[in-house]
């Protein structure tokens, strides 16, 4: 199997200067640089707010796709517990990704690509920007009966911190739930780690359910947290059982804290190096009321996978039952987006979120550069705040590139947005996206939004929507406002 590059994430920031209720906040990053010359940035520089980018200076915005929703799930849990989530745990793109977009699905593998634009509503304060542009990707849904069998290697944190709030109990319940939803022809292995790692169960067919459940029942928390040792043993076990006709995945369940051995995500991935085979993807599952989101997100992004979060059995059911096929399957690998803006029609653009997914422009067509993995039935949405010149023509050209699930073939798609396609009002889905993105900016402390206006917009959407997730969004914004966001 071909080994993929496990280098640290290239980083350049293209971020919208949005706003929050509590007044001005300081930018945590510099002005966006030319993507082809950007230097990698440290974790403390990863998140912040950038200035608008002129297409005359840099016409292209390039980044790896991200389907994670962990940031929104964690924020919801914190707010329901009566606490504002830490600002550095907030990812605007993960808030937007949480909501249904209603995109059309492609007939085959890969992506259907859509792009649309509308004037920003009056309540949305984005500096000089007047319009929003949405780039949407959608993979084809796959019924459970059509998904490939899976080899799942669980790497489970059983350190002392997992005893808090009975996190280890939630893990046991979630694994019982998942095993009950799998097929007899699927297979599961279990590695645990605390001060050191232990292979609790080698790859075992789900048909032998009693043996697996016995191993799950033996999970209990103790000791320190040597995540590196757990991942090393997990990948080794997954590699031994690798089956090219199955989806092979390592699933890390942890609160994300590592205090023994290597504790930095980039160093950890570099140390794993050749142990990470091309055909093995990584799903990281954040567990508990507080966890190290950056660690789990970066591991997933660089381990050809994605990150989710749950703190209760009901939240685990959403991940491991309602979304089983999209959680376990892979529809596209190493997916990347490149948007090229026309300087005759666009004065400035700003990308909302995706700061730590940025890649150099010249790497877009380099299929050895790691992108994002996307499961069946997943959508990816990227929002840009635009300042238009008023001239007619094409606003932007969107290019998408990916490898098929086998990793052997490359696919691509394009879409163009002309100025004539810009609407005066955002549609229902885009309106939800704007509220979700603005809410993320409120929680991470940028400046300019009026909370009353944001809450009014959310409640208006909730009144006309039949989506309970939209009603929940309005309720969460109300809680955050009461907590002083």
Give per-residue pLDDT as tens, 175-233. 888 888 899 999 999 999 988 889 999 999 998 778 888 888 888 888 788 888 898 89
Q: Comparing 67 with 311, which gets the higher pLDDT?
A: 67
State residue 294's pLDDT score. Answer: 76
Cβ atoms within 10 Å, residue 345: 21
* Contact status, residue 68 vs residue 76, Cβ threshold 8 Å: no
Round to whole Å and give the CA distance between 142 and 420: 35
Question: In Å, what is the CA distance from 38 to each residue of 174, 249, 292, 358?
Answer: 41, 32, 26, 10
Q: Which residues contact 169 (CB under 8 A, 6 or more apart)?
A: none
What pLDDT, on a 0 to 100 scale, did the predictor assign at position 303? 67
Residue-wise pLDDT for 262-321, tens only, equals 656 667 666 666 555 567 888 888 887 766 777 787 777 776 777 888 877 777 887 777
Predicted TM-score (pTM) of this structure: 0.82
Q: From residue 245, how far is each of 140, 205, 335, 392, 451 by CA, in Å? A: 20, 15, 22, 51, 51
Range from 71-85, 208-222, 300-314, 460-474 carrying the lowest mean pLDDT: 300-314
What is the band of 43 on the pLDDT scale with cuts at 50, 70, 90?
very low
Q: 34-48 b/e with 16+ CB inside 10 Å = b?
A: ebeebeebebeebbb
Average pLDDT of the segment spanning 65-78: 90
379-388, strands of its sheet edge to edge: 346-352, 379-388, 131-138, 112-119, 422-423
Q: List the single range of 174-188, 270-284, 412-426, 464-478 with lowest mean pLDDT.
A: 270-284
What is the average pLDDT across 342-347? Answer: 98
Long-range contacts of 84-90 (CB under 8 A, 24+ apart): 84/443, 84/480, 84/483, 84/484, 84/485, 85/443, 87/443, 87/444, 87/445, 88/47, 88/294, 88/444, 89/293, 90/440, 90/443, 90/444
């Amino acid at each position: 199997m071909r080994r993929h590059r496990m280098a640290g994430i290239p980083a350049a920031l293209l971020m919208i200067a949005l706003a929050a209720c509590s007044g001005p906040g300081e930018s945590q990053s510099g002005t966006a640089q030319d993507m082809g010359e950007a230097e990698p940035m440290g974790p403390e520089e990863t998140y912040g707010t950038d200035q608008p980018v002129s297409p005359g200076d840099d016409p292209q915005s390039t980044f790896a796709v991200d389907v994670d929703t962990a940031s929104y799930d964690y924020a919801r849990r914190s707010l329901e517990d009566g606490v504002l989530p830490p600002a550095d745990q907030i990812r605007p793109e993960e808030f937007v990704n949480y909501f249904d977009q209603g995109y059309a699905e492609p007939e085959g593998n890969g992506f259907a690509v859509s792009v649309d634009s509308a004037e920003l509503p009056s309540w949305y304060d984005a500096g000089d920007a007047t319009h929003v542009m949405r780039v949407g990707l959608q993979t084809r849904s796959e019924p459970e009966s059509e998904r490939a069998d899976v080899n799942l290697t669980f790497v489970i944190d059983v350190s002392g911190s997992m005893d808090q709030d009975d996190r280890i109990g939630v893990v046991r319940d979630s694994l019982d739930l998942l095993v009950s939803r799998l097929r007899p022809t699927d297979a599961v292995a279990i590695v645990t780690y605390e001060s050191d790692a232990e292979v609790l169960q080698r790859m075992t067919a789900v048909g032998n359910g009693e043996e697996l459940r016995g191993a799950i029942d033996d999970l209990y928390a103790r000791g320190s947290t040597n995540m590196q040792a757990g991942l090393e043993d997990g990948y080794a076990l997954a590699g031994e059982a690798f089956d090219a006709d199955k989806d092979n995945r390592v699933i890390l369940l942890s609160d994300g804290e590592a205090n023994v051995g290597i504790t930095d995500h980039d160093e950890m991935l570099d140390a794993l190096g050749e142990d990470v085979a091309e055909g093995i993807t990584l799903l990281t599952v954040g567990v508990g009321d507080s966890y190290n989101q950056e660690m789990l997100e970066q591991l997933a992004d660089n381990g050809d996978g994605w990150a989710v979060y749950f703190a209760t059995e009901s939240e685990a059911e959403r991940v491991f039952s309602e979304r089983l096929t999209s959680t376990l399957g892979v529809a596209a690998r190493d997916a990347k987006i490149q948007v090229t803006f026309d300087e005759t029609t666009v004065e400035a653009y700003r990308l909302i979120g995706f700061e730590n997914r940025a890649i150099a422009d010249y790497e877009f067509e380099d299929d050895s550069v790691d992108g994002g993995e996307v499961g069946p039935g997943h959508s990816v949405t990227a929002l840009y705040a635009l300042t238009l010149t008023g001239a007619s023509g094409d606003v932007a050209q969107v290019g998408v590139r990916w490898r098929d699930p086998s990793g052997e073939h490359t696919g691509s798609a394009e879409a163009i947005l002309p100025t004539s396609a810009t609407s005066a009002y955002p549609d229902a889905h885009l309106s939800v996206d704007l509220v979700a993105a603005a809410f993320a900016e409120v929680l991470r402390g940028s400046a300019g939004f009026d909370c009353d206006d944001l809450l009014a917009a959310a409640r208006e959407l909730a009144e006309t929507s039949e989506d309970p997730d939209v009603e929940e969004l309005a309720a969460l914004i109300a809680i955050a406002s009461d907590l002083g966001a």
